[in-house]
Amino acid sequence: MRFDSLIESVGRTPLVGLPRLSPSADVRIWAKLEDRNPTGSIKDRPALWMIEQAEKDGVLSPGCTILEPTSGNTGISLAMSARLKGYKLICVMPENTSEERRQLLRMYGAEIISSPAAGGSNEAVRVAKGLAAEHPDWIMLYQYGNPANWRSHYESTGPEILDDLPTVTHFVAGLGTTGTLMGVGRYLREQKPDVKIVAAEPRYGELVYGLRNVDEGFIPEIYDESVLTTRYSVTSADALKRTRELLATEGIFAGISTGCALHAAIGMARKAVQEGERADIVFVVADGGWKYLSTGAYEGTLDEAEDRLEGQLWA
Amino acid sequence: MAIEVRIPTILRTYTDGAKAVDASGATIEELIGDLEARHPGIKARLVENDKLRRFVNVYLNDEDVRFLGGLGTPVSDGDTVTVLPAVAGG
């Protein structure tokens, strides 16, 4: 494979079978390796689509400052594109995100503004919206409400999956901005009306839910419940357990949100076996484990790792 | 027999700080009605116009009840119900 620049190499990631974790020849689980994107996460797709849409719309031109609330991966993807295309980037990040993400962002030349840990990404969104209002010349791409986010998956991730696995029956991904599920979900549903679209939502420690009242909650503007078949809440303990199991059984070293999606994928596989149905279940490996080594997720017992992860944003 | 209901931090003012409480009922709606009898005021934080409030998520054994049967979702002894506010990811 040859590309004219790093940006051109976004997407076309491998889909690999998991023969040891798949329960039978009729019920198979497949991993979409999104860590194989240029900056190592699935976010390279929406970041590129959002930037190129803004360029097409004439709101972004070299020299501009981009502002984005992000727990890390979107920021890193934007930082790479911004460096190559000549933009300045300011990321608003919750304090409780891993040190690796911060180092990467700084290395790419991005500025980081920290938002309070309590409230997690909700707070980052609130702080970023405030900054955007104070600085009308900054361009907030706003992944939570930007249709180019889900369109990147509708136009790239979804078609890639169907090309590689025309027999796909389930698609499982982590729920954050909801972009992956909205885009792939809409595409696959158009092509295969019976496909099941399953969301795996990370259940964090209590700190992240430390809002002052329930009306301060947040639902991304691009979220459309009707695209999903169902939605599971996955605890840190289950996500960690599956992340380690994926490495131990299939050799894949993935980030913790991948364990979250795998947990739901294995649940779907079990259901298919019980009901005697054939299934080809695709789940997303959103990133590799590298950026989470400092969280201690891969060391010691599961209980120790879970304790260390308490209060951290791991997806 | 009862059903365990896990309460998020922001609603523990209604449960004297308890992280999990027991309640009974045949559906999520009945369960919330029973919760209200034991912890007055909590229902209004969860339900509005006979629907779950927009920023409240309720999970039956980890599955979002909005995809099961909403407030009418049947529940049985031994189930675990988890209430969480909607938060952003990404």
Q: What average pLDDT score do residues A299-315 get?
A: 82
CB contact under 8 A, B88 and A220: yes
Q: How confident is the model at residue B89 (pLDDT cuts 50, 70, 90)?
A: low
Question: What pLDDT is attached to residue A85?
Answer: 94
Q: What is the pLDDT of residues B23-54, one digit of tens each?
A: 999 999 999 999 999 999 999 999 999 999 99
Looking at the structure, give the CATH architecture of the domain made up of residues A44-140.
3-Layer(aba) Sandwich (3.40)
Residue ranges of domains in chain A: 7-36+157-309, 44-140
Two tokens, residue B89: 């990811």
Q: How confident is the model at residue A178 (pLDDT cuts 50, 70, 90)?
A: very high
Q: How confident is the model at residue B90 (pLDDT cuts 50, 70, 90)?
A: low
- Tokens 């911060």, located at residue: A102
Q: What is the pLDDT of residues A66-98, one digit of tens each?
A: 999 998 899 999 999 999 999 999 999 998 888
What is the nearest CA distance from A298 to chain B, expressed in angstroms? Answer: 22
How far CA A203 is from CA of A85, A115, A200, A312, in Å, comes to: 36, 20, 9, 11
- Chain-centre distance of CA A203, in angstroms? 15
pTM above 0.80, yes or no: yes
Q: Is A176 annotated as a binding residue?
A: yes
Which residue ranges form the domains of chain B, and what is each CATH number?
3-85 (3.10.20.30)
Task: Tell me what the pLDDT averaged over chain A comes to.
Answer: 94
Report whether pLDDT(A211) > 70.
Answer: no
Report whether pLDDT(A214) > 90.
Answer: no
Nearest residue of A to residue B42 by CA position? A214
Q: What average pLDDT score do residues A110-117 get?
A: 92
Report whether pLDDT(A39) > 60.
Answer: yes
Residue A85, classified by CB atoms within 10 Å of its CB into exposed (0-12), middle (13-18) or buried (19+), is middle
Q: How confident is the model at residue A210 (pLDDT cuts 50, 70, 90)?
A: low
Q: What average pLDDT score do residues A289-313 get?
A: 87
Angstrom distance (rounded) from CA A102 to CA A99 = 5
Catalytic residue among A32, A43, A196, A291: A43
Q: Which CATH class is domain A7-36+157-309?
A: alpha beta
How large is the ipTM? 0.93
Question: What pLDDT is attached to residue A96?
Answer: 83
What is the nearest CA distance from A123 to chain B, expressed in angstroms? Answer: 9
Angstrom distance (rounded) from CA A115 to CA A309 = 19
Phi (first) and psi of residue A266, to 5 degrees:
-65, -35
Other beta carbons less than 10 A from residue A181's beta carbon: 28
Among partner residues A210, A217, A233, which is closest to B59 by beta-carbon distance? A233
**Cβ contact B36:B5 at 8 Å:** no
Q: Is A251 annotated as a binding residue?
A: no
Best of B47, B62, B83 to substitute, by most chain A Cβ atoms within 10 angstroms, is B62
Two tokens, residue A129: 């919206």
State the maximum Cα–Cα separation within chain B, in Å, rounded to a whole number. 40
What is the nearest CA distance from A223 to chain B, expressed in angstroms? Answer: 11
Angstrom distance (rounded) from CA A238 to CA A257 = 10
Question: What pLDDT is attached to residue A116?
Answer: 87
**Cβ contact A284:A258 at 8 Å:** yes
Question: What pLDDT is attached to residue A272?
Answer: 98
